[in-house]
Amino acid sequence: MLEATPESSVSREHFLTTVKGLRHVVDPTTLEASLSTMIGTRPHSASARIPLKRLLEFQTVIAEGRDDPLLLAKAYSHLNYDPGFMGRTFLAGALSLDEAISLLCRYMKVNSDLCTIKLQTNPDSATLRITPATGYSGAHEQLDAMVYSFSRILLALGIQSIDFIRLNHVPPLAIQDQYHHLFPAPVHFGGSEPAIQFSPEQLNRQLDWETCPVEKLAKRERRLKQLQGHPNWLESVEILIPALSRRGEAHIDRCANLLAVSPRSLQRHIRAEGSTFRDILDQSRRKLARNYLARGYANEVTASLLGYRQTAQFYRAFREWFGCSPSEYQHSPPP
């Protein structure tokens, strides 16, 4: 479980998104006065973080005198969850729904320390588990709003239906109908932690993105490294390779540039973690090839997605990986 510390914070982007939603449900004068009092008027850099405790204090002031525990969730309901908008965010670094959810989970810390999210699957269900930070007992309103936001994101990505949404508290009976009316699925109250459950077969749904904003993905990756005590360079390279391969740019110079280090430094970091860029690229392409073929991509499309200029190059690499052709693999994949 995430432990909320005095240094816990949210990104300025997350804070401004919250304020954007609040403008629809809070009197502008009250909102501006609270912003000035709680956050101050001094300009901040785009990468500045807002202390999590300060954010919760700000939200307490906003909600004062308003007997509405769903105020924040209602504010979030005015935000843009259009699929076209999602396709212009870092989530467009994915080709399928499960990949997009993995990115959402990976970069949660970049947005906020309030919770962590993890996708768990079994043959009968897929569950997005939202684990709140300990130490902030009065954060139900913010957590409810974030659970609401996650459910809207899943629907925007193409989840056809959500089985249920679970919250980790029990609101007064008199207002429970408001939750059922606002949230896009049946709401269960009083679980150990918030969660969103849906059928697992939806995870393989392919996403129809026009472009892959690898620069936005790299920006998130760089920010995550700043927040990590011991950054994992191997993971960062693995995250970027699918998007770079689709653009024919899966080489160490481009990857290093996106991660704001020199190629020599990146190779040194990777070697310290027991690998090389060439090994990571080969292993990633092998894994991606299996995934793409399993999703029904044609051999020519798979070769292009992996960054091969000629399909024959892909055939040779595939035979080295699996000892058979892609067509043979699709008919009888090795264990």
Q: Domain 214-331 maps to which CATH number in 3.40.50.1440, 3.40.640.10, 1.10.10.60, 1.10.10.10?
A: 1.10.10.60
Please name the residue that has the structure tokens 């906020």. Answer: 112
pLDDT digits (tens, 9 = 90+) for 163-197: 999 999 999 999 999 999 999 999 999 988 999 99
Please name the residue that has the structure tokens 């925007």. Answer: 156
Report residue 43 as tokens.
Answer: 């300009």
- Residue ranges, comma separated, of all CATH 1.10.10.60 domains in the chain are 214-331
Residues 153/86, Cβ–Cβ less than 8 Å = yes
Q: Domain spanning 9-204 has what CATH number?
A: 3.90.1520
| Verdict on whether the full-model pTM lies above 0.85 | yes
Mean pLDDT of 135-139: 60
Residues 126/197, Cβ–Cβ less than 8 Å = yes
pLDDT band at 153 (very low <50, low <70, confident <90, very high): very high
Scanning the chain, the segments in alpha helix (DSSP H) are 12-22, 28-38, 52-63, 71-76, 83-86, 97-106, 108-111, 140-157, 176-182, 214-227, 233-246, 252-258, 263-272, 277-294, 299-305, 311-322, 326-331
Is the pLDDT at 211 greater than 80? The verdict is no
- Residue ranges, comma separated, of all CATH 3.90.1520 domains in the chain are 9-204
160 to 105, 153, 154: CA distances (angstroms):
20, 12, 9
Residues 6+ positions from 243 with CB-CB distance below 8 Å: 93, 212, 214, 217
Residues 248/127, Cβ–Cβ less than 8 Å = no
Residues 6+ positions from 235 with CB-CB distance below 8 Å: none
